[in-house]
Amino acid sequence: MRRFAGFVIKEFYHIFRDYRTLLILFGMPAVQLLLFGYVITNEIKDARIAILDPSKDEVTRRITEKILSSGYFILEKNLSSYNEIGPAFREGKTTLVLVFGKNFAEKLGREGKADIQILGDASDPNTANILVNYASGIINNYLISINIEQVPLKIIPEVRMQYNPELKGVYMFVPGIMAMLLMLISALMTSLSITREKELGTMELLLVSPLRPIQIIVGKVIPYVALAFIDACIILGMGKFVFGVPIQGSIILLLAESILYISVALSLGILISSITSSQQVAMTLSLVALMLPTILLSGFIFPIENMPWILQWFCQIMPPKYFIIIIKSIMLKGNGLTYIWKETGILVLFTLAFILLSVKKFKIRLA
């Protein structure tokens, strides 16, 4: 036991001596969260809009007002003819053009319908799509409001977005970043620290020493469990206090699940290091084999349901996927273990499988 304790203390020396890595370890979650939270966002504010309004009557003015006061749009310029639409887009600032038909109010009053055209700058298709939706939504709302007195029968769906009423992107990024960072720190750092010993030749002496393989493995893992756990707390804390992401469910359950996920990632890191012998290979393997799938195939950014079936099948073996489901469920819906026991069980299975494999693969000799 004293041997083992000595080994763990040595690992902590390594970590604290390498303060550059330490800085990255603790700085990264904060920076990533701020980046994802503020920079990469699907919500669009203050889009530049140009309006071509040949009617200039009360209705078109009211619609224009509604759109400009929504907070999503800023008036870039008023256009006076169709020919100006092209140049307005080409200048690059305008992302949306609104064209009213002639005699708008009069036509609406007489025929019960009027023409309005929304043109989006689809050189950026996502933004264009969102802006067009915003604009048509505003117009529809307006039409409903003036129709209320005229049409007696109608169905007005009242939409409520459950668990994230404001559709905030951060609600999605906090769990995603947590899954990504914990995987990165745990898997990358352990695989590096084991392969470093192989590269330096110190592994030779560790092997010759009476330390058992399991002691070496667990000794390597413990410090990183602690570090990754601190990171998890930083992410959750920032999510709650900076971005206002709620934690509806039990915080203890949430932290326990985090530790479980950290164990999955760590055992994966050990597995990587037991099949590689250089830091470079371990790093590449961790980054390529873990980071990209974690971002792309975990449902963090891209919905799994839309993928080709072969990728969907592949997603099922991504541990981050289950962790993201678990934390979203606890944080946003306030669910307890009864709702997420299946995902939890899968993570436990992953951990056991990886550890078993690595202990089996761990070489008590050099070749």
Partner 1 sequence: MEDPSIKVSNISHSYGNVKALDDISFGVSRGELFGFIGPDGAGKTTLFHILATLLLPEKGTASVEGLDVVKDFKKIRKILGYMPGRFSLYMDLSVEENLWFYATIFGTTVEENYDQIREIYSQIEPFRKRRAGKLSGGMKQKLALCCALIHKPAILFLDEPTTGVDAVSRMEFWEMLRRLKESNITILVSTPYMDEASLCDRVALIQDGKIMKISTPAEVVSEYPNELWSVESKDIYRLLQDLQVYPGVKSVHAFGHAAHLACEKEALPANLLREYLACKGHEEIGISRIQPNIEDCFMELMINK
CB-wise, 17 or 113, nearer to partner 1? 17
Cα torsion 181, 187, 193, 197 to 10°: value is: -160
Binding interface with partner 1 (CB under 8 A): 2-3, 5-7, 10, 13-14, 17-18, 200-202, 204-211, 364-367
SS3 label, residue 315: helix
Q: How far is the CB of 14 from partner 1 (least distance, A)?
A: 6
Rounded Cα distance between 357 and 360, Å, is 5
Q: How far is the CB of 285 from partner 1 (least distance, A)?
A: 24
Cβ–Cβ under 8 Å, residues 18 and 44: no
CB-wise, 10 or 110, nearer to partner 1? 10
CB-wise, 14 or 77, nearer to partner 1? 14
CB-wise, 7 or 224, nearer to partner 1? 7
Q: How far is the CB of 15 from partner 1 (least distance, A)?
A: 10
Residue keyed to tokens 């999503």:
72
Looking at this protein, which amino acid is placed at residue 294?
Answer: T
Of 60, 22, 63, residue with least CA distance to 230: 22
Q: How far is the CB of 23 from partner 1 (least distance, A)?
A: 16
The b/e string for 98-115 (b: 16+ C-beta within 10 A; e otherwise) is: bbbbeebbebbeeeeebe
Q: How far is the CB of 215 from partner 1 (least distance, A)?
A: 9
CA distances, 298 to each of 23, 78, 188 (Å) = 27, 45, 18
Q: How far is the CB of 7 from partner 1 (least distance, A)?
A: 6
CB-wise, 13 or 341, nearer to partner 1? 13
Q: How far is the CB of 198 from partner 1 (least distance, A)?
A: 11
Of 244, 191, 184, residue with least CA distance to 32: 184
Dmax over CA atoms of the chain, in Å, equals 95
Q: Where are the beta strands (DSSP E) in the chain?
A: 47-52, 73-79, 96-100, 116-120
Rounded Cα distance between 2 and 8, Å, is 10
CB-wise, 90 or 365, nearer to partner 1? 365
CB-wise, 280 or 316, nearer to partner 1? 280
